[in-house]
Amino acid sequence: MKAEKQDVLKRLNYIEGHIAGIRKMVEEDKYCVDVLRQTHAVRKAIEKLEQLILSGHLESCVVEGIKEGREEAVIDELLQLYNVAGNK
């Protein structure tokens, strides 16, 4: 879990840096297409971050919840996540 947390934090730092770069580009009136390329990169980085967090959740929290007899709560939570993901 510690390695996963470090990877999540590393990705968040990357995203924060990218966002700061985009802000600077906008402040400096950079070419719109260049700004949009950067926003696309941030979107992809966030998707990767979400995949990493979800994978960790499935491998740890979901398994633990089922072992502890909380199957219904775990399934409800997963359905909520599924619905949120479907409403992008």
Confidence (pTM):
0.80
Residue 88 has pLDDT above 70, yes or no: no
pLDDT at 1: 60
Domain boundaries, the chain: 4-86
20 contacts 29 by C-beta, under 8 angstroms: no
CB 22: neighbour CB atoms within 10 A?
19
How many residues make up the chain in this entry? 88
- pLDDT, one tens digit per residue, over 18-74 is 999 999 999 999 999 999 999 999 999 999 999 999 998 998 999 999 999 999 999
Q: Which CATH class is domain 4-86?
A: mainly alpha
